[in-house]
Structure 1
Amino acid sequence: MTSEITLLVNPSAGRGRGARAAEPAVRVLRAAGLDVRTVVGADADDALARARAAVATGTRAVVALGGDGMVSLALQAVAGTGTPLGVVAVGTGNDFARVNGLPVRDPAAAASVVAQALGEDRTRLLDLGRVGPGPDGDRWFGTVLASGFDSRVNDRGNRMRFPGGRFRYDVAMLAELAALRPIPYRVSFDDAAEREMEVTLIAVGNGSSYGGGMRICADAVMDDGLFDVCVVGPCSRTTLLRVFPLVYSGTHPSHPVVTVHRAARVRLTAAGVTGYADGEPIGPLPLTARTVPGALRLLV
């Protein structure tokens, strides 16, 4: 193992915050005596290949600078390897950092946490989810695997070219609300028999939140070996609009339309539904998610 750490940078994260955040983060890391190699991939595939090469050659740590998308990419390189992950969260949602009590949109403070953790060899061992099969095989995730209404909003938003920015997802949500219908699912938890159910959405949580603080799996713990699975049953547009604001406080499980299950393995089957993990598209259902205890060493 070398003394060099790898800083994986998404320069466009948080509407350009990534590019601005790299300089103060590098300054703090180098002031702590760390040898920093900055990696900016030509695209996601190139960045991942470079991160995996760094892990293979013994980098001391990989530090993801960006939002949840960059953390997700870094997880594909470090999960199960023993190479620790640091996070400098400067994206839009930053759910992975928030769940783990790391600084958000303060690159100097986040880099200081990384430097101190490396100096003291201080890491937290976390579970990760592994989901597949997607078109590129199984994929690691840290926070939530989403499917149903919310993934259809993502699908629609990703297809839209106007309006720009996050506003297009607000428009996509309104369009999906207008078309709201229960979705027939087949679901199995661990070794239990498959169930048929009609649902609005199912979220499989290794972590508690997604979408920039929506606590969809509010009681999920990242080191207990289990997912929290939030199922929102069939509901009207009016009911969904009543339940939706409760997600930010994590009180939505008190509503009769919501049930929560705990399992180490979940299989989801539904026609015309895409799964998204850590906000990234995985592929169409059916998908199987399983917990992998202790798959990540996080610098904290």
Structure 2
Amino acid sequence: MTKHLIILNPNAASGTAAKRIDQIKDLLRDRDVLFDMELTNGPLQAVSIAKDGCAAGYSSIIAAGGDGTVNEVLNGIMLSGAVGNDLPAFGIISIGRGNDFAHVAGVPQDIAMACDVLERGTPVPMDIGRIMVDSSARSDDSSSQTTIRSGAAANELQFPTHFPNGRYFINGVGIGFDAMVNIEATKITWAQGFLSYFIGAMKTMFFYYDPVSLDIEYNGKRETKQMIQISVMNGRRMGGAFYMTPDAVADDGLFDLCIGHAPKRREMLGIILRFMNGTQGVSPHVMFDRTQHLSVKSADGKLVVQADGEIMCTEGRQVEIECLHRAIQVIRADTE
């Protein structure tokens, strides 16, 4: 018998997700869906709840929140120790700000329709990614943290030991400009969704535009040049409306890459607007590619990196990113 564990983040979408709790419960009960619900009350708690849910034998684990909640629940499932067919299915109820992976996974934004998917949807295999940040990561036995140092002058970044072998992601990784946009967007509490990310993009363009020299290696080739961003995508969209890789397929075993070189600042606004309909490839400063594995290095420790909207580092030296082909079953609408 199918029973779902709903992990709901009441703080998603600046706290408005809490208003959806009773609605979601009522919709699922109306559909005779068996479920338990647990609420998170702090960062990374969804990871622990999801791991425990796997051990308890739930047939599916559902992330109710935004992309950050989706990421935490994904990591909890993948870190549970279960493998293959023993992994529970992964579902999404979108009540966050960006909800980007739900878009490519075919999960409706409408809450009632998302509950219909949980009732009648089909688990399908999808790719995920795993990211390692900096080869200098070390465990600090005096605390429950893994400290990543990015050079003598850089800030120390504290990553919980939930992720000793890297962090999983399902939508995408942003290096450089779009990671800075994410940081700026999260500071905006009075706007949601696309608007907060658009304002974040404008702030980043005017105040933090800083192409850096990056060494990028993939598909047996390597180049070093000034770049403003590298998007490594399993999905297609970030920030609620920016189509980083409009042709990405989430089960083909490959990441889609969108690499931005170093346009002049006056050219940036036009390029940003083109991301909204996925036509940025017409710019000579933007290129697309595909790969299963990617390495990016910054000799001066200036990597700003986010995965599924979660900041991985702000002064990193190296990231390694790999695609794990069809590693998880995602519940999506039955198209038959």
Q: When the two structures are superposed, what TM-score results if normalisation uses the length of structure 2?
A: 0.80
Distance change in 2, residues 1:172/1:230 (3 Å): closer
Cα distance in structure 2, aligned partners of 1:56 and 1:143: 25
Partner of 2:27: 28
The 8 Å contact of residues 132 and 282 in structure 1, kept in 2 or not, is answered as no
Distance change in 2, residues 1:254/1:168 (3 Å): closer
- Supply the AA of the counterpart residue of 1:8: I
Distance change in 2, residues 1:16/1:223 (3 Å): same
Cα distance in structure 1, aligned partners of 2:73 and 2:211: 35
Distance change in 2, residues 1:199/1:37 (3 Å): same
Q: CA deviation at 1:102?
A: 1.4
Partner of 2:303: 273
Q: CA deviation at 1:172?
A: 7.3
- Supply the AA of the counterpart residue of 1:234: A
Q: CA deviation at 1:46?
A: 2.5
1:41 equivalent to 2:61? Answer no
Q: Map residues 1-300 of structure 1 onto 2, 5 A cutoff.
A: 3-79=2-78, 82-104=87-109, 106-117=110-121, 122-133=122-133, 135=159, 136-137=163-164, 138-155=166-183, 164-166=189-191, 170=199, 173-174=202-203, 176-190=205-219, 192-270=220-298, 271-283=301-313, 284-300=316-332
The 8 Å contact of residues 39 and 47 in structure 1, kept in 2 or not, is answered as no
Single out whichever of 126-135 and 51-60 deviates more from structure 2: 126-135
The 8 Å contact of residues 128 and 327 in structure 2, kept in 1 or not, is answered as yes
SS at match of 1:53: helix
SS at match of 1:194: strand
Identity of aligned residues (%): 26
Residue segments in structure 2 that go unaligned for 5+ positions in a row? 135-158
- Supply the AA of the counterpart residue of 1:78: I
Residue segments in structure 1 that go unaligned for 5+ positions in a row? none
The 8 Å contact of residues 218 and 293 in structure 2, kept in 1 or not, is answered as yes
Give the length in aligned residue pairs: 290
Cα distance in structure 1, aligned partners of 2:196 and 2:252: 36
The 8 Å contact of residues 95 and 209 in structure 1, kept in 2 or not, is answered as yes
Spell out, residue by residue over 1:109-162, the C-alpha distance to the aligned partner (whole angstroms, 9 max, x if none). 211111112xxxx2111001111137343111111200112223444566x6xx
Q: CA deviation at 1:174?
A: 2.5
- Supply the AA of the counterpart residue of 2:306: Y
Q: When the two structures are superposed, what TM-score results if normalisation uses the length of structure 1?
A: 0.89
